Structure 1
Amino acid sequence: MNIGLLGGTFNPIHNAHLRIAEAARDRLGLDKILFIPAATPPHKELDGEISFKHRCSMVALAIADNPHFAVSDIEQQRGGRSYTVDTLFELKNLYPDDQLYFIIGSDSFLDIASWYKVVEIFNLCNIVVIERPEALIADPISPLPVAIRSEFCYVHEELRLTHRSGFSVFFVPDTQLDISSSSLRSMIRENKSTRYLLPDSVAKYISEKRIYLK
């Protein structure tokens, strides 16, 4: 089975997250996408300290009508800082016979050389880069750590980097949905409509639980 992995704070999850997951699934023929809310992200403070339970519940509501999508609380169960490499090691053990595809934005890929134990990540799974207009990648090799650039080869006609491990970095065109969780939190605080930006079930949950109001 081919399994996509989409991590994030999902604070809150919105329609662009869902579209990114569907674009990756369609482009690469993935059987399932696991949405993995970060419990304690190492590089980001959670605005308003919205609990993991709330964020996980919103993800579950957002994906309820898609049989290819599922939510995983693996980072909460493990505890501690939510480093990508640790999550991938654990998922590799849980799905030893499956192909894993870790989905990130091009903004994250441009910064990937600074990630914790990034060299190990390239030996654990495939990476799917969703290209965004504000973070264009002119040279797919240049964001990689200098020490391992020679381990990759760019296949232009397939829009992917191949790695000597056998895994690849795939590049998927932007989904053209410019939505951010931070802007949505501001809109909610200002009592502005978020219709068509959030799944209705998530908007209802936020209203009922009265979160993001401060």
Structure 2
Amino acid sequence: MPKPCRLIFSLLGLIALANASKFMIMGRPRHGFVPTPIFSTEGDTVAAANYQYQFRQILDHFDDMNNQTWLQQYWYNPSYYQPGGPIFLMLGGESPAGLKWVTEESLTFMVLAKKYNAAVFQLEHRFYGKSRPTPDQSIANLKWLSSRQALEDAATFIRAMNDMYSYQWVNSSKWVTFGGSYSGALSAWMRERHPELVAGAIASSGPVFAKMDFSGKSRCN
């Protein structure tokens, strides 16, 4: 191959790799292999009013002297539920949560919900989207941003929903958590940490072995 052609192909390869790095982290797509769905936003404002709610969450699950609370966003769709069906919970990760996770029927999460007659929830992760435990993200406040706190957020949420919707759910105590990438790890950890609440967990591309310093260059495999 002539040298000019090799140079052109090399440049094209570098451009492709640079573009891929925008979407890949540690060899995985952002948000794991369950990317955020992209669909038309037409009618979202009206639809959100039917599915979006707020839950008063505990700020610090490990300090009994701290009684501060905050409002956590969640989305709920019971349209597929039938008596005896499970409850599916999509755990939010390091990005805003949204309506489409509980309304877009083409998503695997929703396909499974329809197949197994499940009610579905999406819970936004603390400090992302509109789920803000503190007025700002100062270093002092970010001490409350951790996977340990997020897991207890989910556990507290599940207990509260069991009480709130017990009149709708008949013989339904089986929760299944879902997540991708970081939230996939949360899903697996929920099953391990709270087996009394979570009957099963789906973890797509979840880095379940935690590291103190999770650093590394983006790369494509």
Query: TM > 0.5 between the two?
Result: no
When normalised by structure 1's length, the TM-score is 0.29
Q: Which has the larger radius of gyration?
A: 2
When normalised by structure 2's length, the TM-score is 0.28
